[in-house]
Structure 1
Amino acid sequence: MIRRATLLLAGVVIGASATGFLVSSDIPARAASDDSTYREMSLFGDVFERVRSQYVTPPDEEKMIQDAINGMLKGLDPHSSYMTAEESMEMRDESKGEFGGLGIEVTMEDEAVKVVAPIDDTPASEAGVLAGDKIIEIDGESVRGMTLNDAVDRMRGEVGEPIDITILRDGVTKPIEMTIKRGIIQVQSVKWRVENDDIGYIRLTTFMNEKLDESLEEAIKEIQAQVPEDKLKGYVLDLRLNPGGFLNQAVSVSDTFLDEGEVVSTRGRDERETRRFSAGPGDLTNGKPIVVLVNGGSASASEIVAGALHDLKRATLVGTRTFGKGSVQTIVPLGDQGSLRLTTALYYTPSGTSIQGTGIEPDIIVEQKLPEDLEGLIRPEGESALRGHIEGDQETDEGSGSVAYVPREPEDDVQLQYAIGLLEGTEKNDAFPADPRKAVEELQAKAHDQQAAKQPEKAMEDAN
């Protein structure tokens, strides 16, 4: 099975609290403002009946309805979709950290299955699948005309069975054909080690794991057990190539490194439904300096963590601009008919900044050089390049995203080595170390500026 929950920042229903999966009882009904909506629905019913009764061969009525729903949602944005009951169950299974498949995060673009990121140590990663690759054929069948769910269904199969995929890759003139054996994907969401005997390195690979915060806490304890407090110089938190996941895990991870402060807020169509999530006392790293690594593969929940630690001056961000997915998807159960994944809000960092379509620019920009065999093959990727994406209120022509690549060998990892240099003192920059005491002043000043900017608009509304 392929992970469909690409760039899913689950909120409101999934991951809106520490309880994990919450259940929405139903979909609120809303009366149509005029008769036109009812006429259009009647038209749909007429077309459905005509196809059902007169099409050249008896159609699959259930599939017709699912395709109609997917077509409606596809016109909204790239992250809204319908999931069957089976797909909804698979998504819940994935959150437990083990599933079968190739090990790739995917979305749909230009009628191709686009790889957002291969998951570490999976069949896809080992086969050489890269972020940005577009799968155009599965076992010899074109994906053109398929929904994302259709394509994913075709990539499912028994563990050990081979699958043939054909890929288009920027910079390569001919399609690339691969045969990959499906496997059991055990997602190790937290990886850690000690660098130079005095720096804790922690990499988070996904936020699609209900127990991510527990694993992170265990990693910190293991590092502290290996390195005495007086010798531990700080931590590197690596969020590169992490495409996101559950909102509650993003909040919990941020809280791990914070003593106080707002982590994130979500704002939907109704301003009265704004929700705020804050950190409680208890920084498990005891205030040690932190460097957060980000790149174009850092999306959604990763950006929440990066944005919170950045705005609250708890960490220094190093790397390149993040993906820029600042939207929240609510999972609405539809009984035994599956579930609806619907974009219902945008999220905002503690400074009140929406990163939708813009991403987060690091404090210190460090470009990762590509190896010669990949030069020109991996291009900058971001939310702003997705067709039909919601345009962010601070989006510019510059767009979001950057190259999403991390070398396998630490010694070749320029961004990691720079972060280690900051903590060791061999690299100097005014942005390091971050000073949480300055955060309050800056956030208050920004809030004042934002309020002042709204005053002319308010005066004009009053005048009207």
Structure 2
Amino acid sequence: MRKKELALGAFLIALVVTGGFLFMPLVQRESAQATSPEIYKNLELFGVVLERVRAEYVEKPDDAKLIENAIKGLVNGLDPHSAYLTPKEFQDEQADTRGEFGGLGIDVMMEDGAIKVIAPLDNMPADRAGVLAGDAITALDGQTVKGLSMDAAVDRMRGAVGSPVTLTIQRKGATNPITVKVIRDIIKINPVQYSVEGDAGWIKVKSFENEHTTEYLQKAVEDIKRTLDGKVSGYVLDLRNNPGGLLDQAIDLSDAFLDKGSIVVTRGRNAEDIERTTAKPGDIADGKPVIVLLNGGSASASEVVAGALQDHKRATLLGTRSFGKGSVQTLIPLANKGAIRVTTARYFTPSGRSIQATGIEPDYVVEPELPPELKLQLASVPFESEAQLRGHLKNAAATEEGGGSISYVPKEKEKDNQLQAALALLHGQLPQTGNKAMDSLDQARATTPASSPLANGPSGG
């Protein structure tokens, strides 16, 4: 038995080494081969540890789980954004990227051991079956949801299109639980929300995870133009609390507002690993002023957009400093139908700025107005930023800032002073920044016609 275990260990070492070399791009193999004696030595150590755990652990471990955990440790230890995805996690991520999946079409949260329905999506399965906002789902197909995590609950609600799921609902005003049968259908997630605010358009992009994000943005702009009969004073592009997503969507969305010039530069590990993307002719906003809203929750792809529009003086940035995630991750599928997400490059704005661990500073710093109870709660809480994440990539070209900026956004637009400041800025009413010299200059510009380039505010560099 012992010989078989040692043989298995030797086989696993060979498999790891062989798989590693096959996995690496050709350009990296030379350096790997140059250090192969050290790699073999460490792999031998790994094999010894693996066998000792398999032989001595108090309970018989699952061999597949041991290897999976080893892979997770290898990838997850690189930086905060590299990770190993199990086949299920990879499948879920692909569904999020496509922006559609089989499900019920409800926005939910966990509350008091039940799935609280925030709102059913219009004309989606749950809505058609009579599920209401405020309903508490206590069981799925007769099985209680108490004790489930949010992810586990969502997994149970998703499924094959056309398959049924029975919801047990506790509804306010109802004496007994209500049973509702819902037939799963294709749920399409729209990451773009928009509205007409006076003579301006407000467009909120929630994330860039959806591969159709730019298409939804284009439809939003077209609808705003149609509603205002083409008489649009400008647009507020709201990227607050947008955690990022697909780099190509950030590039396409930036391109939608730019006629020419560089959008983003990515630089990999080797000197020759440099890519620059350039905008194509055509501005979806017809040259009208654009205000971009940022805060401490704006990261990655949203920072690519903000940086590109700021560098080209195409938009004015308003809000608070962004998160500072200036790295690019690549998803690499594996033979087991899982994947690894690996940081493969850093990105730079058109002017060459790296925002890794520093973030993007808005042209106008406008802090959100907090309700009294939040002021007390957040007074002693440091806001997270990339620079605070353990193992983050360092930025040798800039001084890293330790704390993040506040990411609070009120639900009511009339209480959203950042949005109101952006709408005012579109009409030449420049906000107070706290910088007396800048405010003095701004007041001199306050009477500048909206058609003037000065109406877009100061350049971000």
- TM-score when scaled to structure 1? 0.70
The 8 Å contact of residues 331 and 340 in structure 2, kept in 1 or not, is answered as yes
Q: How much does 1:325 deviate?
A: 0.4
Residue 156 of structure 2: aligned partner = 158
The 8 Å contact of residues 316 and 363 in structure 1, kept in 2 or not, is answered as yes
Gaps of 5+ in 2: 1-21, 110-117, 122-132, 135-144, 158-165, 169-183, 432-441
Aligned mates of 2:72, 2:107 — CA distance in 1: 24
The answer to whether the aligner puts 1:406 opposite 2:409 as a matched pair is yes
Aligned mates of 1:340, 1:316 — CA distance in 2: 37
Q: Which has the higher helix share?
A: 2
* 1:35-50 pair list within 5 angstroms: 35-50=37-52
Letter in 2 for 1:60: D
Residue 220 of structure 2: aligned partner = 219
Post-superposition Cα deviations, 1:128-148, rounded to whole Å, max 9, x if no partner, equal xxxxxxxxxx9779xxxxxxx
The 8 Å contact of residues 296 and 404 in structure 1, kept in 2 or not, is answered as yes
SS in structure 2 of the partner of residue 328 of structure 1? strand
Aligned mates of 1:152, 1:247 — CA distance in 2: 27
Closer, same or farther in 2 for the Cα pair 1:33/1:60, shift >3 Å? Answer: same
Aligned mates of 2:265, 2:325 — CA distance in 1: 14
The answer to whether the aligner puts 1:77 opposite 2:79 as a matched pair is yes
Residue 346 of structure 1: aligned partner = 346
Residue 390 of structure 2: aligned partner = 387
Residue 307 of structure 1: aligned partner = 307
Aligned mates of 1:402, 1:274 — CA distance in 2: 31
The 8 Å contact of residues 357 and 400 in structure 1, kept in 2 or not, is answered as no
The 8 Å contact of residues 295 and 401 in structure 1, kept in 2 or not, is answered as no
Letter in 1 for 2:244: G
Aligned mates of 1:103, 1:399 — CA distance in 2: 34
The 8 Å contact of residues 327 and 345 in structure 1, kept in 2 or not, is answered as yes
Letter in 2 for 1:195: E
Post-superposition Cα deviations, 1:243-263, rounded to whole Å, max 9, x if no partner, equal 000000000000000000100
* Runs of 4+ deviating beyond 6 Å: 100-105, 120-123, 138-141, 431-437
Gaps of 5+ in 1: 1-24, 106-119, 128-137, 142-150, 163-182, 447-464
The answer to whether the aligner puts 1:59 opposite 2:61 as a matched pair is yes
Letter in 2 for 1:258: L
The 8 Å contact of residues 313 and 434 in structure 1, kept in 2 or not, is answered as no
Percentage of matched positions with identical amino acids: 47
SS in structure 2 of the partner of residue 237 of structure 1? strand
Post-superposition Cα deviations, 1:16-62, rounded to whole Å, max 9, x if no partner, equal xxxxxxxxx94334325152221110111122122223322221111
Closer, same or farther in 2 for the Cα pair 1:273/1:436, shift >3 Å? Answer: farther
The answer to whether the aligner puts 1:200 opposite 2:201 as a matched pair is yes
Residue 425 of structure 1: aligned partner = 428
The 8 Å contact of residues 330 and 344 in structure 2, kept in 1 or not, is answered as yes
The 8 Å contact of residues 258 and 282 in structure 1, kept in 2 or not, is answered as yes
- Asked which structure has the greater CA Rg, the reply is 2
Higher relative contact order (CA 8 A, sep 6+): 1
Residue 267 of structure 2: aligned partner = 267
Aligned mates of 1:155, 1:395 — CA distance in 2: 43
Q: How much does 1:70 deviate?
A: 1.2
Q: How much does 1:84 deviate?
A: 1.5
What is the Cα-based RMSD across aligned positions, in Å? 3.3
Letter in 1 for 2:368: Q
Q: How much does 1:188 deviate?
A: 2.6
Structure 1 stretch displaced more, 322-331 or 425-434: 425-434
- TM-score when scaled to structure 2? 0.71
Aligned length: 360
Letter in 2 for 1:419: A
SS in structure 2 of the partner of residue 48 of structure 1? helix
Q: How much does 1:121 deviate?
A: 6.6
Aligned mates of 1:69, 1:292 — CA distance in 2: 40
Residue 286 of structure 1: aligned partner = 286
